[in-house]
Amino acid sequence: MASVESFIAECRIKGIKLTGQRRVIAQVMVEGQGHPNAEQIHADAAHQHDRISLATVYRTLRVLRDAGMVIEHAFPDGRCHYELAGRPHHDHLIDKESGAIVEFCDPEIERLQQAIALRLGYRLTGHRLELYGVRAR
């Protein structure tokens, strides 16, 4: 999802009604980076639109999540964090000291998860893998 325009276009295709607030949230998600929580997204959005509530941010994120355009992560800080969907799959390493979030993808681990589920008699439908660590020095 390179541009706000294509994101907006995808909304239209999926029948998601576009409002001023939603355009701003779309822009924040597309042009921003990292894994912001709702409050941070609201703060960024409020910077460009003086009439936007936290409830609308939550509602819009839910719409986008249900449309598969945004991914929601329940990280261990007790809040939900969001990122654009449509990028290649990856998991996260969280720096316990700085809070920094590092993305990674390991095909071997992905493969092993499938194998483990199968061995246990299950078909894998999803997974959550988070590594916690501190800078090695």
Is residue 56 within the footprint of DNA (CB under 7 A)?
A: yes
15 touches, from a second copy, Mn ion, Zn ion, none (C-beta below 5 to 8 Å by class): none
Does 89 engage in binding with a second copy (CB under 8 A)?
no
Convert 41-93 into a string of H (helix), E (strand) and C (coil): HHHHHHCCCCCCCHHHHHHHHHHHHHCCCEEEEECCCCCEEEEECCCCCCEEE
23 CB neighbour count, 10 Å cutoff: 17
Among 35, 91, 93, 95, binds Zn ion (CB under 5 A): 91
Q: Considering CB distances under 5 to 8 angstroms, the limit depending on partner class, which of Mn ion, DNA, a second copy, none binds residue 67? A: none
- What is the rounded distance in angstroms from the CA atom of residue 113 to the CA atom of residue 98? 29
- In the shown chain, the binding pattern of residues 48 to 87 toward a second copy, with x for contact by CB under 8 A and - for none, equals --------------------------x-x-----------
